């Protein structure tokens, strides 16, 4: 599935080092997840309405080059691993103009209910599980 | 009531102009409200647990001088007007080291329930209303 | 000039009231300014490279209805007033799905140099001034 | 060295999951670094004034339990490894009221000049290097 998410750097995202602050990348990764689920036909907003949440258990990110105000950034994601309890996702962020790699990251999520207790996604939302399983196999 | 809230500028709050981004001031004003209600003995977290919310209806802020990384900022607030349906608050932010005025602002809030429908605070939470009324008279 | 900027609500932009936090709207307004200057053919990143900055002197925003995760928001801006020293801009934010008005705001900016000292834009950047003057007249 | 940094959760830091958004932890870690360098007697703002920067090369964080609005959080840091080119730091974030572990993380930084080119800190800022070396040995 085509999953590039195009992000225009916001001025507020820069810091006095004149590059985008590192805390912004997890937000871009999340925007890419939102976009991905939308394109998959099962928006994350719908998932939450069905009582399922996907909190982060782990975040890891390597910063290669600073994104700057004026840049457009392409965030790509791929499903690394899916189990009924967990989801692992990989990301890259590239500068659109020259293709430079800006950052690479991974997130590990738990499938939970609204009280943040871990659930079995395969049982609770078999349609969603099947959809994501197909993606993970790619 | 003594209501100064001391805020150490965070690096992430700066932008490439090397001053704190303007969108941070509403967050500092909010931190000052949290601190104020805590000192008043009726923390805002308790207010929400009792089913009452205080969303913003209007924000206004004048920016006088830029706060910089390395600065400590003092945010003062005072209750401008209280009615059973609304709350108006005034703020100033000064640099601690030299007392320079950085910004002045006002917020207008509605007292609402969890569905963001306006309520009558005087009826629903008379203790809280009384407390704030005393503050507003100062 | 067509100046609608489409913004997909980010999960991180919501707060526990389940709506977008009010401090996010100034960032959306800024994203709309970036987009506007880009469409005008004089990107704000270029303006800064030429030694000109446009810090905020005043912000005012009225919040009508909460934006929610899952919403796409349309931010429109128009130049309210331009002088060689200042720029006033008006904004509206609407929910794309039903056209509901979410917020209306205004910002007042000063044209300054890199030391945040006010300049005369008409003299220092006549081409940019002319471009924006045409916009302000619409 | 005593390096606990006390952080009051800000309302804006929560998301609609009613916990603090994960992107906030890197900002808290950074606030802890600011506090740590201040207590060490060599504020980070001074380091930057001397032409030295400390951009992030890698971030890793494990999220154990959600911080909530109303919580005070204690962030502890310790120097894991120092070389003339790099700095590794470890962090924990605990809820103050009950001591619950909220998150654990690590950051890897490069010592650079203002153009983000790697420098040799031991040669360029021997006093600072010595100070931090003593800390790293603890």
Give the residue among A114, A41, A53 at the shortest CA–CA distance from A85.
Answer: A53
Q: Are B115 and B95 in contact (CB under 8 A)?
A: no
Q: pLDDT at position A1, please?
A: 63
Q: What one-character-per-residue DSSP string does chain D give?
A: ----EEEEPPGGGB-TTSSB-GGGHHHHHHHHHHHHHHHHT--HHHHHHTT-B--EEEEEEEE-S---TT-EEEEEEEEEEE-SSEEEEEEEEEETTT--EEEEEEEEEE-B-TT--B--HHHH-HHHHHHHHHHHH-
Q: Is the dihedral of CA D6, D11, D12, D15 positive or negative?
A: positive
The alpha carbon of residue A69 is apart from the nearest alpha carbon of chain C, in Å, by: 7
Q: What is the mean pLDDT of each run of 10 residues along chain C (138 residues)?
A: 87 97 98 96 95 97 97 96 97 97 98 94 96 87
Minimum distance, in Å, between the CA of residue D120 and any CA atom of chain A: 19
**Which of C26, C61, C116 is the closest to B66 by Cβ?**
C116
How much of chain D, in percent, has pLDDT values that exceed 90?
93
Q: CA-to-CA distance for C29 and C25, rounded, in angstroms?
A: 6
Estimate to the nearest angstrom the gap between the alpha carbon of C15 and the chain centroid: 23
* Residue carrying structure tokens 């309302």: D11
Question: Given A26, A68, A70, which is nearest C43 (Cβ)?
Answer: A70
Q: What is the pLDDT of residue C124?
A: 95
Instruction: Provide DSSP, B68-82.
Output: -TT-EEEEEEEEEEE
Given the structure tokens 């099947």, which residue do they identify?
Answer: A130
Q: What is the model's pLDDT at position D2?
A: 60
At CA C31, angle to CA D69 and CA B105, rounded to 5? Answer: 55
Print pLDDT tens along chain D (138 aa): 667 999 999 999 999 999 999 999 999 999 999 999 999 999 999 999 999 999 999 999 999 999 999 999 999 999 999 999 999 999 999 999 999 999 999 999 999 999 999 999 999 999 999 999 998 877
User: Most C CBs within 10 Å: which of D14, D15, D19, D70, as the mutation test of the C interface?
Assistant: D15
In sequence order, the 6+-apart residues with CB closer than 8 A to the CB of C104 are C61, C62, C64, C90, C91, C92, C93
Look at residue D1 in the predicted model and tell me its pLDDT: 62
Give the C-alpha separation, C136 to C122, whole Å.
14
Q: Which residues of D touch B44 (CB under 8 A)?
A: 11, 69-70
Q: What burial letters (b/e) apply to C69-80, b meaning 16+ CB within 10 Å?
A: bbbebbbebebe
CA–CA distance, C77 with D76 (Å, rounded to integer): 45
Give how far D30 is from chain B: nearest CA, Å.
Answer: 7
Contact at 8 Å (CB) between C92 and C32? no
* Two tokens, residue B73: 């900022």
Spans in chain A with pLDDT lower than 50: none
Assembly ipTM:
0.95
Q: Which residues of D lie closer than 8 Å to A, measured between beta carbons?
A: 16-17, 19, 22-24, 26-27, 30, 48, 53, 55-63, 66, 116
High-pLDDT (> 70) share of chain D, %: 99
Q: Model confidence over D33-61: pLDDT tens digits?
A: 999 999 999 999 999 999 999 999 999 99
Give the mean pLDDT of chain D: 95
Section B102-112 average pLDDT: 98
D12-22 pLDDT tens trace: 999 999 999 99
């Amino acid at each position: 599935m085509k999953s590039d998410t195009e992000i225009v750097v916001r001025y507020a995202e820069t810091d006095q080092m004149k590059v985008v602050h590192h805390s912004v990348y997890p937000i871009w990764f999340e925007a890419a997840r939102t976009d991905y689920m939308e394109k998959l036909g099962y928006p994350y907003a719908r998932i939450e309405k069905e009582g399922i949440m996907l909190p982060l258990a782990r975040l890891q990110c390597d910063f290669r080059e600073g994104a700057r105000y004026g840049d457009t950034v392409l965030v790509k994601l791929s499903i690394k691993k899916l189990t009924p309890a967990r989801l692992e996702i990989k990301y890259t962020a590239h500068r659109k103009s020259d293709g430079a790699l800006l950052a690479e990251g991974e997130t590990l999520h738990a499938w939970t209910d609204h009280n943040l207790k871990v659930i079995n996604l395969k049982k609770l939302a078999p349609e969603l599980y099947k959809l994501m399983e197909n993606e993970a196999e790619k």
